Amino acid sequence: MTHSLHDFIRRLPKAELHLHIEGSLEPEMMFALAQRNGVSLPYASVGEVRAAYNFTDLQSFLDLYYAGAAVLQTEQDFHDLTMAYVRRALADNVRHAELFFDPQTHTVRGVPMATVFAGIAGALRQARAEQGFSSRMILCFLRHLSEDDAFATLEAALPLRAEYADLWIGVGLDSGEVGNPPEKFARVFARARELGFRVVAHAGEEGPPAYVHGALDVLQVERIDHGVRSEEDPALMQRLAQSGMPLTVCPLSNLKLCVVKDLREHNLARLLRAGLCVTINSDDPAYFGGYMNANFLATADALELSREELVELARNGFTAAFLTEEERRPWLDELQAVAAE
Ligand SMILES: [Zn+2]
């Protein structure tokens, strides 16, 4: 692929809608925080951690992910983690990000809910004030845990809602998908919707198309995170296309977790060409080998995406974001200007 197309990708303004902030913990920071907090890690060096990044499936990644998250303990830790992500996002021309965070990963270790919120939100507010970086927070429930646990998490976070009303706008569902269908969380999602939260869920990554149907029908989500296995169900494909339901696809994550063996086999282009509202995202960039531009560049090369398709992918990111028309307009205008160059 020509350098000019790569430059074009770098210049496109972007929105990232599928990013787990804990998944942006780079090994260097993992070691620095472990030292700062006196936490011992099951790895002797940064190199050893990187070597452990040879995942065979979602679970092998989650095991390392939860071990790494143990170094996050103080408000400053969450602040530093979030700031590091913002710096990388800005370098990739990401203007708006909707960050997932997993309070249960931290509260189970005794870290207060308020600490998690204060650290992430403090960094996002600073980034907004100093660099105009736009963001929102989406609290995710860990689906391998019970719905009661999810309810307790929501209840524990609600007292903080007013204080973080500018950022905390929604709830999501992540972690081990297979065996934990959307229906398991029907009641807690109903409660979240009743409270006025935007709702999203991971579905159809490793789980079957039935999980995507479940996320739509039972959880009534407004976006599907991943959703790549929807392709196995033609009726579902038609439904997703007709409703304009966004899919937050994460190509390098799918490659690293063996959802596809080769990026050239990824169905992102087919989904896009079938009329689905596909977006590109980095998921857990520290673990999966790349932030936004790395995902765009690798996908563009592997699938021979056209300039028009790249613009469409970037545009979908803004249209699928939980923003008002007024908020997204300047970025869409800028995108149009870059596309017309
Ligand atoms: Zn994810």
Residue numbers annotated as active site? 205
Residues 314-338: tens digit of each pLDDT? 999 999 999 999 999 999 999 999 9
- Cα within 13 Å of Cα(330), Cβ side: 6
pLDDT surpassing 60 at residue 1: no
How far apart are the C-alpha atoms of 272 and 312, rounded to whole Å? 9
What percent of the chain shows pLDDT beyond 70?
Answer: 99
How far is ligand 1, taken at its centre, from the CA of residue 340, in Å?
33
Residue 4 tokens read as: 């000019």
pLDDT given at position 67: 81
Q: Is the pLDDT of residue 312 over 80?
A: yes
Model pLDDT, residue 139: 98
For the stretch 149-208, pLDDT in tens is: 999 999 999 999 999 999 999 999 999 899 999 999 999 999 999 999 999 999 999 999
Q: Ligand 1 centre and the CA of 281: distance in Å? A: 9
3-state secondary structure of 16: strand
Tell me phi and psi for residue 95, to 5 degrees: -100, -25
57 has a pLDDT exceeding 90? no
Largest interatomic CA distance in the chain: 53
CA of 199 to the centre of ligand 1 (A): 14
Distance CA 243, CA 74 (A): 42
Q: Ligand 1: distance of its center to the CA of 140 in Å?
A: 10
Looking at the chain, which runs of residues are DSSP E strands?
A: 14-20, 94-101, 134-142, 168-174, 198-203, 223-226, 246-249, 277-280
- Centre of ligand 1 to C-alpha 341, Å, is 34
pLDDT at 68: 87
Distances (CA, A) of 246 to 174, 209, 286, 295: 17, 15, 24, 18
Give the separation between CA 309 and CA 268, rounded to whole angstroms: 11
pLDDT given for residue 49 in this prediction: 84
Find the mean pLDDT for residues 21-39: 94
Q: What is the mean pLDDT of residues 232-254?
A: 98
What's the 201 CA to ligand 1 centre distance in angstroms? 9
Q: In this predicted structure, what is the pLDDT of residue 2? A: 59
The stretch 21-49 carries a mean pLDDT of: 92
Q: What are the structure tokens assigned to 253, written together?
A: 């994550």
- What's the number of domains the chain is made of? 1
Q: By three-state DSSP, how is residue 226 classified? A: strand
| Interval between CA 137 and ligand 1 midpoint (Å) | 14
Cα of 203 vs centre of ligand 1, distance in Å, is 10
**One-letter identity of residue 227:** G
73 has a pLDDT exceeding 80: yes
| CATH for 267 | 3.20.20.140
In the predicted model, is pLDDT for residue 61 greater than 90? no
pLDDT digits (tens, 9 = 90+) for 101-135: 999 999 999 999 999 999 999 999 999 999 999 99
Cα-Cα-Cα-Cα dihedral sign, residues 234, 297, 250, 63: positive
Rounded-to-integer distance, Cα 136 and Cα 321, Å:
10
For residue 141, give the DSSP letter: E
Task: Grade residue 26 by pLDDT with cuts at 50, 70 and 90.
Answer: very high
Q: What angle do CA 111, 116, 121 make, to 5 degrees?
A: 165
User: Mean pLDDT, the chain, as a whole number?
Assistant: 96
Predicted confidence at residue 22, as pLDDT, reads 96
- pLDDT per residue as tens digits for the range 276-293: 999 999 999 999 889 999
Ligand 1 is an ion; residues with CB less than 5 A from it: 283
Which tokens go with 206?
A: 């490793």
Query: Mapping DSSP to helix (H, G, I), strand (E, B) and coil, where does residue 287 land?
Result: helix
Which structural domain, as residue segments, surrounds residue 80? 3-339
